A = this chain, B = another copy of it.
Amino acid sequence: MKKIAVFVSGNGTNLQAIINAVSRGALKAQIALVVSDKKNAFALIRARRAGIKALFLDPKDYESRRAYDAALVRCLKAQKIDLVVLAGFMRILSPLFVQAFRNRILNIHPALLPAFPGECAIKDAFRHGVKVTGITVHFVDEEVDHGPIIAQESVNVLATDTAESLEEKIHRVEHRIYPEAIKKVLSGGFTLKGRRVLPVSRKS
Contacts and interface: CB of A to CB of B under 8 A. Distances in A.
A153 interface: yes
A165 to B, nearest CB: 12
Contact of A132 (B116, B129, B152): B152
Interface residues of A, number: 28
A154 to B, nearest CB: 4
A173 to B, nearest CB: 12
A115 to B, nearest CB: 4
B112 A129 contact: no
B149 A130 contact: yes
A202 interface: yes
Contact of A130 (B132, B152, B194, B199): B152
Interface of A: 112-116, 127-132, 134, 148-154, 159-160, 194-199, 202
